[in-house]
Amino acid sequence: MGETANPVWITGLGLLSSAGEGAEAHWAAMNSAKSSNIDSENFSPYMVHALGDVEWTNQISRRDMRQMEPWQQIGTYAAGLALDDAKAKTDEELCARMDMIVAAGGGERDAEVDGLIIAEARTANDRDAMLTERLSNDLRPTLFLAQLSNLLAGNISIVHKVTGSSRTFMGEEGAGISAIKTAHSRIASGQSDIVLVGGAFNGEREDMMLLFELGHYVSRGAFLPVGQRTGDDAGFNLGSIGAFLVLESESSARRRGVEPYGELAAVAADHGTRNDKAASSRLTAALEKVNDGNINAVLSGATGVEDITAEENSWLNDSLPHLSVRGFGNHTGHGIEAQFPLGIALAAIAAKKGAFYDPVYAEEAPLDGSPQSILVTTLGHYRSEGLGLVKPVSN
């Protein structure tokens, strides 16, 4: 692994999930076996890691709130937290030149309108005519803007005035991986000084859940740790997650006098079909690109989807045996596009504390001493694999 010309520091974190908001809430949640906000009633037989009470107006005006669907609110809120944390929020000049990469899905629907149309379609003489009439009359004109993938970034620009550049990546877990990787590359190569990067997902939506349950990727029944889910229990519990980071060149952070959480030392990603342990071969190649020889802790974004979670587990055992591996999906649920950014953020918290998360589940081993380099993994539920390496910054 070569040294980059510009070390990439993590200087701000914005986290919002069932664990609460901010670094300390997530540190505490990751060290506890009890998930704070499990909702197993509203979506039965599925459970979700739901958001608790959020004081939205801390980051978003009521006027702007009305223009957003929940996933955009979650993301815009988390982005605001990250900017605050990096002492960047009130620096207009900085925000005006700050680059932004957002990993987003989208398409949150008006479930009530959709439900009425589905029911009416069963008996409609002319289904097309009914659909046209219903959609023309019942869709809120502004709903479209709350559904468009790039309008999370658009809302962040409007609310927080981040306007250097704005790109939205789509494609489930891979979008979050590509967003972090591209942000890292931009800073390491000198194309950017500072990038706001992250993703958001609202797990408390049946319309979103349906997209994954079509392929039977959503876990049913009571909570089990991701590594123990099989059969109908296999799959993920969705989580409402907003995870944003401010990544910054070391020189920019020093100029601004901002303390880093840690360094994002490297990111590698790949994709392909998953026959014959192909994902393991790709991970091995990716690990070679990020491994600095000091990895002693792993934060796994494992989904609980049976085959790929088992494959990750055995790959880790073969490639990096006897390490402390913690599955963060157990604590916050699965956040799709937000999953990899969340993992990088959790690693940054540990790097700053000089301590790793305590084992919570049976299969997890403790880490003696401090984390040196923390490997973050995210293997998409269907496609895409990413690895990131976070390490402490020594003074």
Partner 1 sequence: MNTKDHRGRPIVAVTGLGVVSSLGKGKEENWRKLTAGESGIHEIERFAVEGLKTTVAGTVDFMDIETMSAPELSLALAEFAADEAVAQADIDVGDFPGPLFLAAPPVEMEWQHRFELDSELPPGEIEGYKRLLQAARKERHQQMFELVQFNRTADLLAEKFGTKGLPISLSTACASGATAVQLGVEAIRRGETDTALCIGTDGSVTTEALIRFSLLSALTTQNENPTKAAKPFSKDRDGFVMAEGAGALVLESLESAQRRGAPVLATIRGCGEKADHFHRTRSSPDGSPVISAVNRALEDAAVSSDEIDYINAHGTSTPENDRMEYNSLKEVFGDAIHQIPISSNKSMIGHTLTAAGAIEAVFSVLTLQHGCIPPTINYDTPDPDIPLDVVPNTARQAKVNNILSNSFGFGGQNACLVLSNEFG
Chain residues 253-282 in contact with partner 1, contact rule CB under 8 A = 269-273
Residue nearer to partner 1 on the CB measure, 46 or 261: 46
The single-letter DSSP state of residue 148 is -
The answer to whether residues 371 and 350 touch, using CB atoms and an 8 Å cutoff, is yes
291 binds partner 1 (CB under 8 A): no
Residues present in the chain in total? 395
Residue nearer to partner 1 on the CB measure, 174 or 333: 174
Residue nearer to partner 1 on the CB measure, 33 or 121: 121
100 binds partner 1 (CB under 8 A): yes
The answer to whether residues 104 and 223 touch, using CB atoms and an 8 Å cutoff, is no
163 binds partner 1 (CB under 8 A): yes
154 binds partner 1 (CB under 8 A): yes
Among 1, 28, 33, 111, binds partner 1 (CB under 8 A): 111
Query: Looking only at residues 198 through 227 of this chain, which bind partner 1 when binding is defined by CB under 8 A?
Result: 206-207, 209-217, 220
List the end-to-end C-alpha distance of the chain, in Å, as a whole number: 22
The answer to whether residues 192 and 7 touch, using CB atoms and an 8 Å cutoff, is no
Among 17, 300, 324, 384, binds partner 1 (CB under 8 A): 384
283 binds partner 1 (CB under 8 A): no
Query: Looking only at residues 8 through 67 of this chain, which bind partner 1 when binding is defined by CB under 8 A?
Result: 45, 67
151 binds partner 1 (CB under 8 A): yes
- E strand map for 203-288: 241-249, 262-270
Binding span for partner 1 by CB under 8 A among 12-20, 51-59, 82-90, 136-144: 136-144
Among 189, 230, 314, 317, binds partner 1 (CB under 8 A): 189
The answer to whether residues 363 and 239 touch, using CB atoms and an 8 Å cutoff, is no
E strand or H helix at 286: helix 278-290
Query: Looking only at residues 116 through 135 of this chain, which bind partner 1 when binding is defined by CB under 8 A?
Result: 117-119, 121-122, 126-129, 131-133, 135
Closest CA to 113 of 63, 66, 147, 152: 147
Q: What are the backbone angles phi and psi of residue 197, rounded to the nearest 5°?
A: -140, 140
- DSSP SS3 for 360: coil
Closest CB 238 distance from partner 1, rounded Å: 12
- Amino acid at site 148: L
Residue nearer to partner 1 on the CB measure, 248 or 270: 270
Closest CB 366 distance from partner 1, rounded Å: 33
Closest CB 99 distance from partner 1, rounded Å: 9
CA angle 220, 221, 222 (to 5 degrees): 135
Residue nearer to partner 1 on the CB measure, 163 or 313: 163
165 binds partner 1 (CB under 8 A): yes
Query: Looking only at residues 315 through 374 of this chain, which bind partner 1 when binding is defined by CB under 8 A?
Result: none
Range 80-102 burial, b when 16+ CB lie within 10 A, else e: bbbbbbbbbbeeeebbeebbbbb
Q: Which two tokens stand for residue 309?
A: 């979670």
Among 91, 114, 250, 358, binds partner 1 (CB under 8 A): 114
Q: Which two tokens stand for residue 2?
A: 């070569």
The answer to whether residues 39 and 117 touch, using CB atoms and an 8 Å cutoff, is no
Write down the residue that tokens 């026959």 correspond to: 275
184 binds partner 1 (CB under 8 A): no
Residue nearer to partner 1 on the CB measure, 89 or 352: 89
Residue nearer to partner 1 on the CB measure, 341 or 371: 341
